[in-house]
Amino acid sequence: MDVAHFFAFAHDTWLGQIARDSSYVYTIGLVVHFTGLALLMGAMLVIDLTLLGLAPTIPPGAALKLLPVAIIGFVLNLLTGITFFCFDPERFGLNPAFQVKMLLVLAAGLNALWFTFAEHREVARSAAGAPLPLKVKISASLSLLLWFGVIVAGRMIVAFQ
């Protein structure tokens, strides 16, 4: 399936149709998208700042208990984001800021997956304030940079229309 067919397919989905049928769907979707942003970023800020050693009284294992909050925020934003995309696939798919945003989400996701499989178990057992390996700190820094980059790229979509 080439890109044009994919755009047509997304446009004609049930999700695309209900988004275009009522302007409330898009408006409410945006409210949910920003609520998801707050959940995801709040959890990631506390987790990543802890991993960076900036909250030395939080046990890393306790901070990582916030991951479900981040995942709920991410899933809310994935679902509402797919709805926006289906509303007008070409408007988003051909927009350079949207393309950059998707690449940043992918990079942030891969960084999170690497941490989950390679480091989570070990880090969760560390004591509060104990020094963590450099690779963990690099991953935490990347996480913050990439997620904030996602926000900026998302807000720049309107500038490239």
Partner 1 sequence: MDLFAWLQNLPLSEWVQTSDYGFPLLLAAHSIGLAGVVGVLIILNLRVLGYAEGIPIAALRRLMPVAWLGFIVNALSGVLLFMANASRLVTNWAFLLKMSAVLAGGIVTWVLWRALNEPSDFTHPKRGGAPTSAALAAYGVTRAARITAGISMAVWFAAILFGRVIAYVMDHAILHGGG
CB of 147 to partner 1, least distance (A): 8
CB of 66 to partner 1, least distance (A): 6
Pick 16 or 73: Cβ nearer partner 1: 73
Tokens of 39: 């959940």
Pick 14 or 24: Cβ nearer partner 1: 24
CB of 86 to partner 1, least distance (A): 20
CB of 141 to partner 1, least distance (A): 15
Binding site for partner 1 (CB under 8 A): 27, 30-31, 34-35, 37-39, 41-46, 49, 55, 57-59, 61-63, 65-66, 69, 148, 151-152, 154-156, 158-159
Pick 16 or 60: Cβ nearer partner 1: 60
Pick 7 or 154: Cβ nearer partner 1: 154
Instruction: Please state, as a whole number, how many other Cβ atoms lie within 10 Å of the Cβ of residue 96.
Output: 12
